């Protein structure tokens, strides 16, 4: 029987403070630095899920909603949304906290995909994910659509085979229309 895990088994949180060396000329956190932190916390989450080495396969849908200022405390939360054969989709939310002002703001969201590999770099199977509750189930259900979209855009899947994306690509029309 295939191993199964719950979302809470692999959640990861990372906290950093934005220091002067992390900022751009506007005294905001540089996007590349944030993406570096996101990749780290997402990789930790993926490794916890599969108990294996993981490599980043794709990063998509990073939404830069609000800047993060010098001195803010940044909290990055990562959770597995779905596990496929050898890959896992990880959802991240980033919060910026201005401690003296007692304010906390959602600043970024993103989806990362990781592949579990052995020490030779060959993909290995990952445990099935068991979502619980409304939010986990919504993220789980949407993961297949996001995966198919990634594969179609990367030209690794024919749009005709993207069963979850038929309406998006209007594949239901006949050739005579």
Please tell me the predicted confidence (pLDDT) of residue 1.
42
Is residue 43 domain-resident?
Answer: yes
**Average pLDDT per consecutive 10 residues, the chain (177 residues; last block may be shorter):** 87 98 97 96 98 95 88 98 96 97 96 97 97 96 83 72 65 51
Going by C-alpha positions, the residue among 113, 17, 119 that lies closest to residue 69 is 17
Is residue 71 domain-resident?
Answer: yes
Domains in the chain, number: 1
Helix H or strand E encompassing 140 = helix 133-153
Is residue 59 domain-resident?
Answer: yes
Is residue 156 domain-resident?
Answer: no
- What CATH number is associated with residue 116? 3.10.129.10
Is residue 135 domain-resident?
Answer: no
Each residue of 95-133: pLDDT tens digit?
999 999 999 999 999 999 999 999 999 999 999 999 999
Is residue 142 domain-resident?
Answer: no
Is residue 138 domain-resident?
Answer: no
Question: What's the rounded Cα separation, in Å, for the pair 131 and 49?
Answer: 13
What is the residue range of 84's domain? Answer: 4-129
Is residue 118 domain-resident?
Answer: yes
Please tell me the predicted confidence (pLDDT) of residue 14.
98
The CA–CA distances, whole Å, from 171 to 153, 160, 163, 164, 174 equal 15, 7, 10, 11, 8
Please tell me the predicted confidence (pLDDT) of residue 19.
98
Q: Which pTM was predicted?
A: 0.87
């Amino acid at each position: 029987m295939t191993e199964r895990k719950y979302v809470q088994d692999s959640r990861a949180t990372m906290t950093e403070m934005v220091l002067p060396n992390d900022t751009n000329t506007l005294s905001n956190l540089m996007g590349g630095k944030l993406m570096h932190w996101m990749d780290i916390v997402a990789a930790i989450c993926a490794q916890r899920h599969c108990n294996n080495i993981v490599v980043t396969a794709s990063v998509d849908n990073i939404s830069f909603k609000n800047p993060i200022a010098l001195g803010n405390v940044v909290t990055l939360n990562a959770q597995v949304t779905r596990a496929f054969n050898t890959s896992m989709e990880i959802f991240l939310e980033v919060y910026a906290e201005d401690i003296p002002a007692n304010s906390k703001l959602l600043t970024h969201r993103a989806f990362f995909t990781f592949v579990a590999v052995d020490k030779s770099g060959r993909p290995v199977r990952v445990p099935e994910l068991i979502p619980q509750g409304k939010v986990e189930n919504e993220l789980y259900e949407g993961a297949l659509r996001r995966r198919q979209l990634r594969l179609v855009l990367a030209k690794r899947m024919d749009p005709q085979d993207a069963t979850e994306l038929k309406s998006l690509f209007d594949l239901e029309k006949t050739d005579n229309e």
